[in-house]
Amino acid sequence: LNRCPESGSTEVTWLASGRCHYFWSFDPSGSTSLSRRVCNVLGLPSYRTCVIPVVPYVHDYQHEAAKYIQEIQGFDPLTQDFARACG
């Protein structure tokens, strides 16, 4: 499974060209894709890109609990010291 060769542009355009972003290829450089028909005959799976945006929501009590844990361990919750100590 090879990633489509980039065109050289640094701009990200997802599925703008209408082509699949992933394809099967026998070419070691991955520049020539197999046709969908050949992939079907060989029984190769097809892949597609799917983006699901998720907006995380943290309740106030979770923030308070994290703050409390940092304080009882001697860290200042307003700094990144706790995160650095955890690695």
Tokens of 41: 């005959």
Query: Quick one: pLDDT at residue 25?
Result: 86
Residues 41, 69, single domain; the answer is: no
Residues 66, 31, single domain; the answer is: no
Cβ atoms of residues 29 and 39 within 8 Å: no
pTM of the full predicted structure? 0.36
Mean predicted confidence (pLDDT) in 9-14:
47
Q: Give 49-86 pLDDT, tens digit per residue.
A: 777 888 777 788 888 999 999 999 999 999 999 999 99
Residues 46, 62, single domain; the answer is: no
Position 2 confidence tier, pLDDT thresholds 50, 70, 90: low
Residues 17, 40, single domain; the answer is: yes
Residues 29, 65, single domain; the answer is: no
Position 12 confidence tier, pLDDT thresholds 50, 70, 90: very low
Number of domains in the chain: 2
Q: What integer best gives the mean pLDDT of the chain?
A: 78
Residues 62, 24, single domain; the answer is: no
Angle at 75 between CA 74 and CA 80, to 5 degrees: 165
Rg value, the chain, Cα:
23
Domain of 85? Answer: 58-87
